[in-house]
C-alpha cells in the first residue's frame, strides 16, 4: 500500500480494481493517488487487491451472515482484507469495464465483506471503450446493497484517447479537475458518515 499524504482525520482508500497481468488499473490508481496527495482535507492510501490473494469467495458463510455473527471469518486472507478495509472512511474504486461490467476480481473483493463497507462513501474512476460507465453503473447497485453512499461526480476515461496503444496511460488534463470534483464530495460525505457510524474526527 502506498500512502499519498499523511493527514489525520478522514482516510480514503484508492482501490485498484483489476488483478490482470499488465493491467492499466495500477497506472490509473498511482495517478489518482498522486493527485489526491496534493490535498490537505484527508489522507489517501492505495489498496491493491492483487496483494491479498483473494480466491473466489471461499468463506462458509456469506459476508452478511458473518457480520451478524460477529465477523467470524475462517480464512486468513479474509481477515487481512477485513482489517484493511475497516481502517478507511471512504473509497475510490478504480474500475475498468470488462464486457459491459465489473471486473470479476473487484466484485469478488466486494463480496468478501459486508459490515466493513457499511455507512461509508465511495467514488469512481473508470475506463473503457465508453469510459467505463457500465462498470460504474453496476458498482453503484452492488454498493447500495453494502450500504455505501456513492457520490455523483465520477471520472470516466477512454481507452482510445487516454491510453496510447490501449496500454500507456496518458490522461487528458481535464481528468485532473474531475478527480478533484469527485474527491470534494467524497471527503465531505465520508466526513458526514462518521457520525452515522458513531465515530468522531481524529
Domain spans of the chain? 2-196
CATH T-level assignment (fold) for domain 2-196: Rossmann fold (3.40.50)
Q: At what angle do helices 104-111 and 133-145 cross, to 10 degrees?
A: 10
pLDDT in tens, 95-132: 999 999 999 999 999 999 999 999 999 999 999 999 99
Spell out the alpha helix ranges (H) of the chain: 25-36, 63-68, 76-86, 104-111, 133-145, 174-196
Q: Can you give the pTM of this predicted structure?
A: 0.92
Please give the full DSSP string across 101-151, using - where no structure is assigned: B--HHHHHHHHT-STTTTTEEEEEEEEETTTTHHHHHHHHHHHHHTTEEEP
Query: Do 59 and 75 meet the contact criterion of CB atoms below 8 Å apart?
Result: yes
| Nearest to 111, CA basis, from 155, 62, 157 | 62
**Residues near 21 by Cβ (< 8 Å), separated by ≥ 6?**
none
Q: What is the pLDDT of residue 45?
A: 98
Amino acid at each position: 500500500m502506498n500512502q499519498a499524504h499523511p493527514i489525520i482525520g478522514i482516510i480514503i482508500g484508492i482501490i485498484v480494481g483489476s488483478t490482470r497481468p499488465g493491467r492499466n488499473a495500477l497506472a490509473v490508481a498511482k495517478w489518482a493517488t498522486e493527485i489526491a496527495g496534493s490535498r490537505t482535507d484527508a489522507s489517501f492510501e492505495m489498496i491493491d487487491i492483487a496483494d491479498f490473494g483473494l480466491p473466489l469467495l471461499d468463506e462458509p458463510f456469506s459476508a452478511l451472515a458473518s457480520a451478524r455473527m460477529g465477523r467470524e471469518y475462517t480464512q486468513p486472507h479474509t481477515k487481512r482484507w477485513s482489517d484493511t478495509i475497516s481502517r478507511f472512511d471512504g473509497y475510490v474504486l478504480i474500475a475498468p469495464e470488462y464486457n459491459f461490467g465489473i471486473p470479476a476480481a473487484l466484485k469478488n473483493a466486494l463480496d468478501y465483506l459486508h459490515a466493513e463497507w457499511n455507512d461509508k462513501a465511495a467514488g469512481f474512476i473508470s475506463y473503457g471503450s465508453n469510459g467505463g460507465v457500465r462498470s460504474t453503473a453496476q458498482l453503484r447497485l452492488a454498493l447500495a446493497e453494502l450500504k455505501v453512499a456513492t457520490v455523483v461526480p465520477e471520472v470516466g476515461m477512454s481507452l482510445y484517447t487516454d491510453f496510447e496503444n490501449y496500454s500507456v496511460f496518458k490522461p487528458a488534463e481535464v481528468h485532473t479537475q474531475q478527480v478533484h470534483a469527485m474527491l470534494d464530495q467524497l471527503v465531505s460525505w465520508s466526513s458526514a458518515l462518521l457520525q452515522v457510524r458513531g465515530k468522531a474526527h481524529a
